[in-house]
Chains A and B, each alone.
Chain A
Amino acid sequence: MALSALAGAFTGLGAFTFHYAGGFGYLGSDPATCAQCHLMNDPFDSWRKGPHHAVATCSDCHLPSPFVPKYLAKARNGYHHSMGFTLQPPAPDDPGARTVFPEPIRIKDFNSQVLQDNCLRCHGEFTHGIVRGSTGADHAVRCVHCHDAVGHGARR
């Protein structure tokens, strides 16, 4: 299953995107690979100024940590990223443009959960008393409810 999803991802990467994004660099942990995509420039710039800069890269927060789920998520996200990047019209804000994904980019449930798990991976001990095992969707303490500025600066 993991393999077929990976394969799906590679088919999804259009030649242009694949090249542009630095080829296999996408599979590494270097934030620069994310930032190869101009859409990622804003988070990248502010991540460089934030307190997590020294301790966590993009993938530490946005990709699951164990090896297999990580590459599966990469495959899934890679597919979305490249499809999105390839098919999104260059001027999505032009009236009448048919957009593939909404801009500004919004994190979706799947990645939101990945993120939450990663917060707990590093801060689980500290937040143990308040989390009490409730990391799932409905009844969890959502870290980003208060700390939404943590990765790359305040939105507001």
Chain B
Amino acid sequence: MVLDTGTTSWLLISTALVMLMTPGVGFFYGGLVRRKNFISMVALAFIVFALVSIQWVLFGYSLSFGSDVGGFIGNLDYIGLTGIPNEAGEAGYPPLLFVAFQMVFAAIAMAIVTSGFAERVKLSSFIIFALLWTTLVYDPLAHWAWGGGWAGAYGSLDFAGGTVVHISSGFAALAVALVIGKRAGFGEYSMEPHNIPMTLLGAALLWFGWFGFNAGSALAANSLAVNAFLVTNTSAAAGALSWLCVSWLRGKPSSLGMISGAVAGLVAITPAAGYVGVIPAMVIGAIAGILCYGAMLWRLSRKMDESLDAWAVHGVGGLWGAIATGIFAAMAIGGFSGLIEGNVNQFIANAAGALAALVYAFVVTLVLAKLVDMTLGLRVSEQEEYVGLDLSQHGERV
């Protein structure tokens, strides 16, 4: 196929949009922590982006998209991106563009995991952990779903990474939080978000970038991309409003709730964006807002310090999205039928794929975090934590 400049153009900009989501996560999280850890949260996002950018071109891409080894992982054929032609291949865009597009997904997944580390992680150990996690958790999961691995073959649908990116990072954040332990003072005194407008700014960048994330995943500038674009927005809006409403029943409707609902809606529609229409998207988003709000309340009631709710929003939202894809997939939109159109198999395949990824991500992350903790120590000292990571890890102050 010859070069399709329109599709190439769309994928170039989509890649840039998704890139922007990683600092977006940084600001989203940075606003939620206490002032003394603001810089740290944003810096972690940037550092993740830099690390994954290098890891990906060196070997991460190859592990994810190299020729399949046992359904589990890619081989090393593409190490250093050797052997990848830069001329438009059969897809109509240069294959290196696919490398770049997938790279930014790998980066944001790891950035989401920082939620579990918030305000207490040692920078040096974090760097090691991030490299291990992206290599041993993210790369295999990307391979399973999209790189020729078992999940794709088995028929699990994941349009833009609901499982690969969100379930994996959300449950990884939970595992990390369990290993690293609660922040000093958690549950004893309140740790309020210090700069909500920065969180809203991060959310704006996330919502904006998500159009590249989901509509870019059509890998073409066509009607599938358009459908993904529109349903992404609809689900986000529905999630924002549903969280706003249910939280209103219990007290004041916070802007953080509203925006968390939007992110929940964005997460949940991610695996479904190419398979469902606009009305199901509204349902998926609305339910995501309520479910994730419930998950957050449950987490709080259990006094778990998965500090910035990556688990409640990305983990639970991603799980719901995977299941919802199995329910609502419509033949007319993306060529697959879900439960509602009578296809129980799709529902099972999706649930199973999501569950497998969930278990894999959670367990392997647990092991990796434990390992790093036992060898290097994941956590800063009590004094460093008290003073804050900005000063203790970076020597900087807001």
**Binding between chains A and B:** no
What residues of chain B have their CB less than 8 Å away from a CB belonging to chain A? none
